[in-house]
């Protein structure tokens, strides 16, 4: 079935949920069935992204799917959860759409409360890369390799491994020997990686990311830039971890895999390679400051979370204790860590935080 053959009355359905997020989260906790968290993507030319988006929202709503999905002229990129009993129904629904037939679903290694509502947005691109796709052939991608091939190729001395994710992702987990650019966005990473690899155009280069989507575009871009031996980890870290476990392979990934949902990470190895941004003790638990006027992403251990009421600073802690009306008024003129720093950039000063006890 083409995605254009659905009943037009679906266009009249509401496409977002205005219920308070805390109420939605509580509803999710009360569910008496398990959900499966997964991700997927597909590069495909969609003529009318808005029309497809409305159709897709209707389909997924009917089978109780929650998640965040981006649709554009270049394809679709989604992270969702679905009732476990509806997983086969989901697969069947996807197979009814021409370009999503036999789509690979990256099942999360660790399950949990990942999403609590369904959001589908139309965007210019499914991953913000800043590239002019007309300037190179996006179909000439790197060679896909599986976990076994990754282990074999990465063991060679001349092989270069490149993490195409952001610094706050690689801070908590990465492959051994990987180059990890200190960037906040995928768009920012492309010229920096090109410069780092400028003298390695003939080396075998393996690129990896969370689920594979960033490398689909990056590998084609770097081949266009003259790099001759580009490989990409098929299915990313998520699929690598699944294959390592199912096939009994050596695990070359250390730490956690950062994920963009309420879980904020799934453990791949028992190694803790990061530190609490507040006290400096070993920790790899990302969180967002509970002060909604700040909401900065940072790493916080249980001790600091208890001491600061899950805030990033005493300033946010004190602000959060104010009456709601006073907070609304003060936030117009106050500046917090989330205003001043990018994702994962904030590091507390121990002397300012009273964290030495």
Residues designated as active site: 209
The CA-atom distances, in angstroms, between 196 and each of 162, 190, 199 are: 10, 10, 8
Beta-strand pair 253-257/230-233: unpaired
Distance CA 68, CA 89 (A): 19
Q: Is 39:238 a contact under the CB 8 Å cutoff? A: yes
In DSSP terms, 106 is beta-bridged to 39
The closest alpha carbon to 291, from 300, 303, 282, belongs to 300
Residues in Cβ contact with 65 at an 8 Å cutoff, skipping those fewer than 6 apart: 80, 81, 82, 86, 90, 118
Q: Which residue has the tokens 């008496």?
A: 32
Cα 194 from Cα 206, distance rounded (Å): 13
3-class SS of residue 102: coil
Which residues does residue 75 pair with via DSSP β-bridges, in sequence order? 43, 72
Cα–Cα distance, 44 to 310 (Å, whole number): 42
Beta-strand runs (E) in 65-109: 66-72, 75-83, 106-107
Q: Residues 210, 109: contact at Cβ < 8 Å? A: no
Q: What is the DSSP letter of 135?
A: G
DSSP annotation of 141:
P
Give whole-number Cα distances, 247 to 134, 150, 156, in Å. 40, 13, 21
Here the tokens at position 102 are: 């036999």
């Amino acid at each position: 079935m083409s995605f254009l053959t659905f009943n037009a009355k679906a266009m009249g359905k509401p496409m977002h949920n205005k219920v308070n997020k805390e109420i939605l989260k509580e509803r999710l906790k009360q569910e008496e069935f398990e959900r499966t968290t997964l991700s997927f993507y597909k590069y495909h030319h969609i003529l009318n992204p808005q029309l497809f988006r409305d159709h897709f929202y209707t389909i997924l709503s009917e089978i109780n799917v929650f998640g965040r999905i981006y649709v554009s002229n270049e394809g679709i990129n989604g992270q969702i959860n679905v009732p476990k009993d509806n997983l086969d129904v989901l697969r069947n629904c996807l197979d009814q759409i021409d370009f999503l037939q036999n789509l690979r679903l990256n099942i999360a290694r660790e399950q949990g409360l990942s999403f609590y509502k369904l959001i589908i947005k139309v965007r210019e691109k499914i991953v913000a890369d800043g590239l002019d796709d007309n300037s190179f052939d996006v179909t000439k991608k790197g060679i896909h390799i599986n976990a076994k091939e990754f282990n074999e190729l990465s063991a060679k001395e001349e092989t270069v491994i490149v993490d195409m994710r952001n610094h706050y992702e690689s801070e908590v987990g990465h492959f051994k020997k990987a180059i990890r650019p200190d960037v906040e966005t995928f768009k920012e990473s492309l010229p920096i990686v090109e410069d780092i690899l400028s003298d390695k155009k003939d080396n075998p280069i393996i690129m990896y990311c969370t689920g594979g989507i960033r490398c689909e575009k990056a590998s084609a871009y770097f081949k266009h830039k003259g790099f001759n031996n580009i490989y990409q980890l098929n299915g990313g870290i998520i699929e690598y971890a699944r294959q390592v476990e199912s096939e009994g392979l050596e695990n070359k990934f250390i730490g956690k895999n950062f994920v963009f949902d309420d879980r904020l990470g799934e453990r791949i190895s028992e190694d803790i390679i990061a530190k609490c941004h507040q006290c400096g003790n070993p920790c790899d638990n990302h969180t967002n400051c509970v002060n909604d006027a700040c909401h900065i992403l940072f790493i916080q251990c249980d001790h600091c979370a208890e001491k600061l009421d899950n805030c990033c600073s005493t300033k946010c802690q004190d602000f959060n204790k104010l009456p709601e009306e006073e907070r609304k008024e003060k936030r117009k003129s106050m500046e917090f860590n989330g205003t001043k720093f990018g994702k994962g950039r904030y590091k507390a000063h121990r002397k300012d935080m009273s964290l030495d006890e």
